[in-house]
Amino acid sequence: MSQTPQILYCHCHYAQVVPKEVKEAVLRKLCESGVPFEAVADLCEMSARRDPALQRLTQGNAIKVAACYPRAVKWLFAAANAPLPLDKTEVLNMRVQPAEEVAASLLSAELKPNVPTGKVTAADAPKAAAA
């Protein structure tokens, strides 16, 4: 019998690249659900500090992360010497997915691993802003 994936919610406090309405709606749904989850202020900051909590999170069961782009989350954990288990990790992208979709996926018992494998390529590079 598999255990329920743990849930990690990133509030993206410092970069503030996730729409405020999406963050608030996802957090509200998680709180209302009664499902246990871990909320952090900012994964980028935790990665920069190599916070041991990131290693703890990767040592357990499957994990669902509500944050940013899957490739960014993968490298944030890797930079903190806490590589994500690719086959047991689902990343929900609050930058582009609607809050309802993110919350529904987080609260679903189903895990859809989606962390990219392989090396970084030119396609992974940030795109220049349109002038």
pLDDT of residue 12: 92
In the DSSP assignment, the letter for residue 110 is: -
| Predicted TM-score (pTM) of this structure | 0.86
**Which tokens is 75 given?**
């490298």
Per-residue H/E/C for 41-109: CCHHHHHHCCCHHHHHHHHCCCEEEEECCHHHHHHHHHHCCCCCCHHHEEEEECCCCCHHHHHHHHHCC
As a whole number of Å, the CA-based R_g of the chain is 14
**Which tokens is 104 given?**
């529904």
Q: Report the range of poorest mean pLDDT among 66-75, 78-87, 122-131.
A: 122-131
For the stretch 54-80, pLDDT in tens is 999 998 789 999 999 999 999 999 999
For the stretch 6-37, pLDDT in tens is 999 999 998 888 999 999 999 999 999 999 99
What Cα–Cα distance (Å) separates residue 109 from each residue in 7, 46, 65?
A: 11, 27, 14
Is the pLDDT reported for residue 126 higher than 70?
no
Between CA 4 and CA 10, with CA 9 as vertex, the angle to 5 degrees is 155
Between CA 103 and CA 51 the distance in angstroms is 26
